[in-house]
Amino acid sequence: MAARRQHINPGPENMSLLTQQQNHISEQIWNGDDSRELRSHRSCAVDDGLLPPCIVPYLIQAGFYGVSRVGHFEYVRPLIRALVERRRPETHTFHFPQGECTITLQDVALQLAVLGTLYRELCKAANPETEEIAGCLSLLHVWAWDRFPKLAPPRPPPRDPLAHIYQPLPPLAASSILQIDWTPYSSMFERGQIPNEYLQHPDIWRASVPLLNFATVEWHHSVLRQFGMTQPIPGPPRDLSDMHGLSLRNKSDQT
């Protein structure tokens, strides 16, 4: 007797919400084509990894000194690819077996332009024809390492001459690689390890609003589970297909 063939449907089962599956990189991979090499843009780093001392006071005054301490590290291309393959442009969330999660305004504090640009680049990278990804990939790495601690590399010793003004970060929790830390900042809030200027108006972190960066328009979608709240069944995602194609690059005659 011939063996019965079992046809597996990779999903999504309901195409009314995830309408861009046919143009998603996961569709190409499921059909056996995993040949795309997604390259990443990267800016030049300072040789010694330290900021010029003359600009440090201005960064502190502007509230961006903590962000500047992220510094330079090598991007992990397999991690970028894995996240891109699991991100949906329709909902701006990563789809994992444990549930959906995403990068929110809480993760970037005041850097709205940074988040909007990263959203756009992740949406573009979901298309199999896209060969490069730009945006703040440092944020993407740190976000993933906070939620999947087992994927994070060992922390190097601090080289920041002003590192003493920040309290040391707590040790990474021993958890399964597949376990998501839904609220990685909770212990830092309790210990007072996050400057107060980043904790003003926390309700904004969960706002459903458009992120505008010049010609880039991306919708900020909040996953309540990441704030320790019960996640209800979300409504249909907003259709931003027209906005995804909007760009003013190399168009000096438009205002």
pLDDT tens column, 191-209: 676 667 667 777 878 888 7
pLDDT value at 52 more than 60: yes
Grade residue 158 by pLDDT with cuts at 50, 70 and 90: low
Element (H, E) at 241: helix 241-244
Q: Is the pLDDT of residue 43 over 70?
A: no
First-residue to last-residue Cα distance in the chain: 70
Helix (H) or strand (E) holding 217: strand 216-219
CB 237 within 8 A of CB 221: yes
What's the whole-number average pLDDT of the chain? 76
Q: Quick one: tokens of 112?
A: 């709205």
Residue 231 pLDDT grade (very low, low, confident, very high; cuts 50, 70, 90):
confident
Q: Tell me, what's the pLDDT at 49?
A: 59
- In the prediction, which pLDDT does 83 show? 94
CA 194 – CA 7 distance, rounded (Å): 50
Query: Which pLDDT band, with edges at 50, 70 and 90, does 217 fall under?
Result: confident
| d(C-alpha 37, C-alpha 130), whole Å | 9
* Residue 5: predicted pLDDT: 52
Whether pLDDT at 127 is above 90:
yes
Domains of the chain by residue range: 50-154+165-230
DSSP character string of 102-153:
---HHHHTT-HHHHHHHHHHHHHHTSTT--EE-S-HHHHHHHHHHHSGGGSP
36: which 2 tokens? Answer: 């795309």
Structure tokens at 174: 């021993």
Q: Which residue would you say has higher pLDDT here, 237 or 138?
A: 138
